[in-house]
Structure 1
Amino acid sequence: MNSRLKVHAALALVSLLFGANYSIAKVVMPEYMGPLGLIALRVPLTTVLFWTFHKMVGPTVTPSKKDLGRFFVSAIFGVAVNQIFFFKGISLTSPIMGSVIMTSTPIIVLIISFFLLGERITWTKSLGIILGATGAIFLVTSKGIDLSNNTFQGNLFVLVNALSYSIYLVIVKPLMAKYDALTVIKWVFFFGCFMVVPFGAGELMDVNWHQFNSSVWFSMAYIILGSTFLAYLLNMWALKHVNPSLVGYYIYLQPLFATAIAVVFRGDILTMKHILFASMIFAGVFMVGYKKKKKISP
């Protein structure tokens, strides 16, 4: 398997791991553990895994002092804001709606890359941004604009999560060019620990561990090992070899996996509204990522 194919395989697996997480996380939240409590447990445990694994597989590298600020900012958007809003959002909305909203990430990445990296935006990409953003807005507000409505709150939180994750993909890229993937992710999670634990300590202390059954324990293990440790590791490795936009495009697969799992295992219902708004977002993502093939002169 060539290196390019390995990157695509890794990103496809990441999409599956994240896609399944939408339904699996709801096994735990909010019945057995609050979303903030789950994050306060998830991030420190995963941090220990990253540091231990890095110690086992190769020489460790200490980042230079001038890069610590970027690691810290990456932790804000890639761990703290990202995970707090994601798990809070998923605890309130459905796996299908949450996963579809997340597909707006490539569009947000392009906009951020335009301002921070000077990436060129063509007319086709501009139309894609408008179309995708419109679909995302319609989906978020599909149950009405009511801040007291759980579904609307959940959709809005997932959208904030998508924005945060998009910023993270752009900000962390220079670190990926300088350090190996494990060094980057372990330090990002290290700083993230100090940000999320204070928010979730209260919910974590209130957990009744004796109520956990085998399904809950399995779900907890999956959230920590599958959708965090393995998924972040593969994502970081891929980001070292390709640009942030391509990594963002693979989020396109998440709603396919998330919907299939939610319908089969949770009995969720896929409506025409979901399909219509998702199609608008997908079309927008396609237009954002579309590149004309250069004609070869005879």
Structure 2
Amino acid sequence: MNKRLLAILAALGATTIYGVNHTIAKGIMPHYVQPFGFIILRVTGAAILFWLISPLGPKERIDPKDYLRMLICALLGMAMNMLVFFKGLSLSTPINSAVLITTVPIVVLILSAVILKEKISGRKVLGIAIGLLGALGLILFGTEVRQDAPNIPLGNFLIFMNSVFYGSYLVLVKVLISKYHPFTFMKWLFSLGVLICLPFGYEEFMEISWNTLPPEAYFGIGFVILGTTFCTYLFNIFALTQLKASTLSAFVYVQPLVGIFYAVLTGQDTITTIKIVAGCFVLVGVYLSSKRPKRQVQEI
């Protein structure tokens, strides 16, 4: 099996795990674990796992000139995006989360144009406008009343900001991925993430009542640490070694399909008209903004 096919399978596996995560993580917050406390568990658990497997990779030193980029990537990809996503998910619903996360390719496209000076065609501009319109619709009109979703508009906005931070991370991390082994890169990135997130989540982490957590809460925490954090970041890092950031971000199309199906199947969320309409806008926008001319297909 060639590396490109493995990269595609890794990207597909990561986005499938993310799709299920919307419901599983929502079931833990905020009743058992507060969102920022959950992030401490995520980054600390993943950092430990990456340090444990790092001897399997080569011994590498980080070039001093990469320190700043490494810090910025940790801030965007291991801190800010996780903090706003879990806080937003605790305030919103799994389906809203799964739909809004599909704005990542649009963010990547915009940032690639700004940072990497990539050209944006008229079709892509139209796609960006339609996709952002759908996201804005969920943020402004997601007003259903649910006991486990106390502030859906704010939650939706924070989930959208997660797309902004994660999209920025995908664009900036490409340089480091081509330079360092994934084990080396991720152990340091998550270690920095622990230091950055600790001031935000320490108090909520200390409030976790471990003795009273039911088995399903332990399962959810384990799934988020091992699956949603360790495996997905490792999968995506490997995928980035073979695929462009814009190509990898396009796999987010699968996430709402998995997320909505799993949320409805488990009875954790319901489909509403605004979710359907906004979701269609977002998906059409992402499709138009990410679709490449036929002559560029072989370059992806």
Q: Which band: TM-score by shorter chain? A: over 0.9
- Aligned twin of 2:117: 118
Give the residue type in structure 2 aligned to 1:16: T
Which residues in structure 2 correspond to 1:78-227 (within 5 Å)?
Answer: 78-143=77-142, 150-227=151-228
Deviations 1:231-281 (A, max 9, x none): 100001101111110111111111111111100113421123212111111
Which residues in structure 2 correspond to 1:11-30 (within 5 Å)?
Answer: 11-30=11-30
- Whole-angstrom distance in 1 between the partners of 2:180 and 2:142: 44
Q: Which moved more, 1:263-272 or 1:86-95?
A: 263-272
Deviations 1:198-233 (A, max 9, x none): 111101111111111110111111000000000100
Give the residue type in structure 2 aligned to 1:255: P
Q: Secondary structure at the match of 1:141?
A: helix
Give the residue type in structure 2 aligned to 1:191: L
Give the residue type in structure 2 aligned to 1:262: A
- Whole-angstrom distance in 1 between the partners of 2:178 and 2:139: 35
- Whole-angstrom distance in 2 between the partners of 1:252 and 1:179: 28
- Whole-angstrom distance in 1 between the partners of 2:194 and 2:283: 34
- Whole-angstrom distance in 1 between the partners of 2:28 and 2:75: 24
- Whole-angstrom distance in 2 between the partners of 1:167 and 1:267: 31
Report the alpha carbon displacement of residue 27 of structure 1 after superposing the two structures with TM.
Answer: 2.1
- Aligned twin of 1:62: 61
Give the residue type in structure 1 aligned to 2:12: A
Which residues in structure 2 correspond to 1:249-264 (within 5 Å)?
Answer: 249-264=250-265
Question: Is 1:46 matched up with 2:33?
Answer: no
Q: Secondary structure at the match of 1:186?
A: helix
Give the residue type in structure 2 aligned to 1:81: M
Residue 247 and residue 166 in structure 1: after superposition, are their counterparts in 2 closer, same or farther (change >3 A)? Answer: same
- Whole-angstrom distance in 1 between the partners of 2:134 and 2:119: 23
TM-score normalized by structure 2? 0.94
What is the root-mean-square deviation of aligned Cα atoms in Å? 1.5
- Whole-angstrom distance in 2 between the partners of 1:125 and 1:15: 23
Give the residue type in structure 1 aligned to 2:96: M
8 Å Cα contact 1:27/1:215 also seen in 2 = no
Q: Which moved more, 1:31-40 or 1:2-11?
A: 2-11
- Aligned twin of 2:146: none
- Whole-angstrom distance in 1 between the partners of 2:34 and 2:129: 35
Deviations 1:143-178 (A, max 9, x none): 36xxxx611111011011110001000111110111
8 Å Cα contact 2:58/2:181 also seen in 1 = no
- Whole-angstrom distance in 1 between the partners of 2:2 and 2:274: 40
- Whole-angstrom distance in 2 between the partners of 1:62 and 1:263: 47
- Whole-angstrom distance in 2 between the partners of 1:58 and 1:74: 21
Runs of 4+ in 1 over 6 A off after TM superposition: none
Q: Which moved more, 1:214-223 or 1:180-189?
A: 180-189
8 Å Cα contact 2:57/2:183 also seen in 1 = no
8 Å Cα contact 1:181/1:240 also seen in 2 = no
Report the alpha carbon displacement of residue 6 of structure 1 after superposing the two structures with TM.
Answer: 1.4
Report the alpha carbon displacement of residue 293 of structure 1 after superposing the two structures with TM.
Answer: 1.6
- Whole-angstrom distance in 1 between the partners of 2:247 and 2:162: 19
8 Å Cα contact 2:142/2:274 also seen in 1 = no
- Aligned twin of 2:72: 73
Amino-acid identity (%): 37
Q: Which runs of 5+ in 1 are unaligned?
A: none
TM-score normalized by structure 1? 0.94
- Aligned twin of 2:147: none
Q: Which moved more, 1:281-290 or 1:107-116?
A: 281-290
Q: Which runs of 5+ in 2 are unaligned?
A: 144-149
8 Å Cα contact 2:15/2:251 also seen in 1 = yes
